[in-house]
């Protein structure tokens, strides 16, 4: 598979980005997060709202891919896609009546969509991730100077959150979530459980500013520790691991904390997994013809 033109690249990547957001929302039961069963620690969000928000972002991801199509990373590209991303945030806020359903997800999937559109399909996803990170490292002169939850968490705890994750090369995608998804599938567990295990691995390692903002350091330490205990007890497919997952969910609800950053990175993992699976199918087709 190769892109025939920018429009096709936009349509394909835009579709995969929206599908990844919907797949993340559909996965259940997610600790502290919105899913079809419950709204976790989110009093203002529902599953239907998350799906409507995801659908409203199709055009945003399409435009980011079209603007990035086979270009080189530079500051101009960074500023162009940032403007499209901010417009996407405004659309999301319009559709949700002012509720932040996908701000962090627009950031990570926007950068990865751009990174993917800079290459022809079939490139190693690690190169796409590296390109996305390179783009994130360029300065954006038009970034609004207004306080956010992220800036207040940085001032309080020195944690760089979503921006730091991107600028440092998305280590939690490369070292944690993608390998865990593959490893869980290799153990033969069902696809939803493999995805859930990738999410738990993210929660166990990520300094999630969503959790820090709502519950401070005690909530972050609790979430990491309880997620690690799930993995140490055989993962979510084992009875003890499952019991510990329920415990993590309960503790997140009690602290009113939610691992939104991990949820965003799970959606990013599913997006990259989709790109990689097409690569694999292509290789197979190539080998057998």
Ligand X SMILES: CC(C)(COP(=O)(O)OP(=O)(O)OC[C@H]1O[C@@H](n2cnc3c(N)ncnc32)[C@H](O)[C@@H]1O)[C@@H](O)C(=O)NCCC(=O)NCCS
The nearest distance, CB 40 to ligand ATP, in angstroms, is: 6
Distances (CA, A) of 117 to 13, 56, 62: 8, 20, 10
Nearer to ligand X, 137 or 253 (CB): 137
Task: Indicate left, alpha or beta for 35 from its phi (over 0: left) and psi (-120 to 50: alpha).
Answer: beta
Name the minimum Å distance from CB 214 to ligand ATP. 5
82 binds, among ligand ATP, ligand X, none (CB under 5 to 8 A by kind): ligand X
Residue 232: how many other CB atoms lie within 10 Å: 12
DSSP state of 140: -
Position of tokens 């991303």?
85
For the chain, give the longest Cα–Cα distance.
58
Residue number, 215 or 261, with CB nearest to ligand X: 261
Block residue for tokens 């928000």: 53
**How many whole angstroms separate alpha carbon 252 and alpha carbon 220?**
10
Cβ distance to ligand ATP smaller for residue 95 or 105: 105
The binding site for ligand X (CB under 6 A) comprises 81-82, 85-86, 103-104, 106-107, 110-111, 140, 148-151, 161-163, 165, 206-210, 260-261, 264-265
Q: Site residues for ligand ATP, window 249-288 (CB under 6 A)?
A: 258, 260, 263-264
Q: Give the interface with ligand ATP as residue ranges (CB under 6 A).
A: 24-25, 33-34, 42, 50, 100, 102-105, 149, 210, 214, 258, 260, 263-264
């Amino acid at each position: 598979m190769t892109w025939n033109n920018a429009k096709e690249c936009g349509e394909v990547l835009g579709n995969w980005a929206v599908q990844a957001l919907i797949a993340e929302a559909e996965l259940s039961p997610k600790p502290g997060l919105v899913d079809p069963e419950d709204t976790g620690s989110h009093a203002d969000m529902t599953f239907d709202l998350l799906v409507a928000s995801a659908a409203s972002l199709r055009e945003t991801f399409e435009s980011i891919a079209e603007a990035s199509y086979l270009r080189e990373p530079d500051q101009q590209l960074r500023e162009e896609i940032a403007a499209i991303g901010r417009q996407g945030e405004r659309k999301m806020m319009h559709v949700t009546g002012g509720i932040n359903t996908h701000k962090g997800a627009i950031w990570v999937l926007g950068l990865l969509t751009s990174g993917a559109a800079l290459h022809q399909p079939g490139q190693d996803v690690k190169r796409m991730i590296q390109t996305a990170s390179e783009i994130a490292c360029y300065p954006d002169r038009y970034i609004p100077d207004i306080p956010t939850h992220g800036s207040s968490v940085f001032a309080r705890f020195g944690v760089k959150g979503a921006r730091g994750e991107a600028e440092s090369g998305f280590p939690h995608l490369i070292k944690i979530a993608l390998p865990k998804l593959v490893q869980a599938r290799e153990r033969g567990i069902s696809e939803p459980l493999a995805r859930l295990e990738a999410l738990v691995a993210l929660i166990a390692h990520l300094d999630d500013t969503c959790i820090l903002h709502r519950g401070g350091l005690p909530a972050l330490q609790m979430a990491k520790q309880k997620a690690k205990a799930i993995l140490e007890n055989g993962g979510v497919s084992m009875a003890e691991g499952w019991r510990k997952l329920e415990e993590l969910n309960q503790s997140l609800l009690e602290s009113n904390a939610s691992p939104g950053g991990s949820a965003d990175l799970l959606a990013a993992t599913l997006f990259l997994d989709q790109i990689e699976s097409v690569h694999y199918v292509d290789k197979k087709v190539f080998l057998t013809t």
